[in-house]
């Protein structure tokens, strides 16, 4: 009589559980003692995918191509002797899709700043599998630690504009678990906000006062100057 089978072990021998479109993966299923002939059946969400007969402790190898969203999810295998009832089930392996990130957008609530001002920069990739990691740069210099976002939201940093050198070009980069998929934003520059001097403000104020006097004089002609001229004739 054959020995009772143990619960088989389902392991990943090729590929990763985080998969991209058109990726091949290989699963191994093995139960001990595995002699005589053992039938191994692979299931995805309780739907049979494939079946193989193996003996002498030879694992059943199932190669899959993840070609659509329906191919991801939970997989299990079942081991049983031929012409027998029952069987034992393995642990489960769960495949998930990873999506490449889109080019991040670097933005700020204000494009103008002056020395002594606090400003913010935000970096956001609209598409891509979470989590997404962001890093901020000024020129080629890293100006922030990595910010890993577990939700679909922007990474934000706060800057203090201390000198004219702080008005350089800023960028950010984003990446996730998708292989070889680091993306950089376009450059962002703050422009220096013009600060009016006291003399400029005084000149503008005197100009406004003079303009008001001229307008007042023009309005007074019909009411005061013309009647006085007629009375003197």
184-205 pLDDT tens trace: 999 999 988 765 544 565 677 7
**Domain boundaries for CATH 2.60.40.10 within the chain:** 8-97, 105-192
Task: Give the mean pLDDT of the chain.
Answer: 87
For the whole model, what pTM was predicted?
A: 0.61
| Phi, psi (rounded to 5 degrees) for 226 | -65, -45
Please give the full DSSP string across 41-86, using - where no structure is assigned: EEEETTEEEEEEEE-TTPPEEEEEEE-SGGG-EEEEEEEEETT-S-
Lowest-pLDDT choice from 28-37, 88-97, 135-144: 28-37
| Phi, psi (rounded to 5 degrees) for 104 | -70, 155
Quickly name the fold that domain 105-192 has: Immunoglobulin-like (2.60.40)
56-113 pLDDT tens trace: 788 999 999 998 888 999 999 999 987 666 789 999 999 998 999 999 999 999 988 8
Instruction: Give the CATH architecture of domain 8-97.
Output: Sandwich (2.60)
Per-residue pLDDT at 212 exceeds 70? yes
């Amino acid at each position: 009589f054959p020995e009772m089978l143990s619960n088989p072990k389902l392991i990943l021998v090729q590929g990763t559980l985080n998969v991209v479109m058109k990726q091949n993966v290989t699963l191994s299923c093995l139960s001990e003692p595995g002699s005589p002939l053992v039938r191994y059946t692979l299931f995805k969400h309780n739907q049979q995918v494939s079946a193989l007969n193996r003996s002498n402790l030879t694992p059943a190898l199932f190669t899959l191509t993840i070609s659509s969203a329906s191919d991801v999810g939970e997989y299990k295998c079942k081991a049983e002797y031929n012409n027998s009832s029952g069987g034992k089930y393995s642990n489960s392996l769960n495949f998930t899709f990873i999506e490449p990130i889109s080019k991040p957008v670097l933005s700020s609530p204000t494009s103008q700043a002056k020395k002594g001002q606090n400003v913010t920069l935000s970096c956001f990739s609209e598409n891509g599998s979470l989590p997404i990691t962001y890093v901020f740069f000024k020129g080629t210099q890293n100006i922030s630690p990595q910010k890993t976002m577990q939700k679909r939201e922007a990474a934000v940093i706060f800057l203090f504009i201390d000198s004219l050198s702080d008005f350089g070009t800023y960028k950010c980069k984003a990446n996730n678990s998708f292989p070889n998929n680091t993306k950089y934003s376009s450059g962002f520059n703050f422009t220096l906000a013009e600060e009016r001097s006291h003399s400029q403000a005084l000149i503008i104020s005197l100009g406004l006062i003079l303009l008001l006097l001229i307008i007042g004089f023009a309005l007074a002609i019909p009411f005061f100057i013309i009647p006085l001229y007629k009375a003197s004739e």
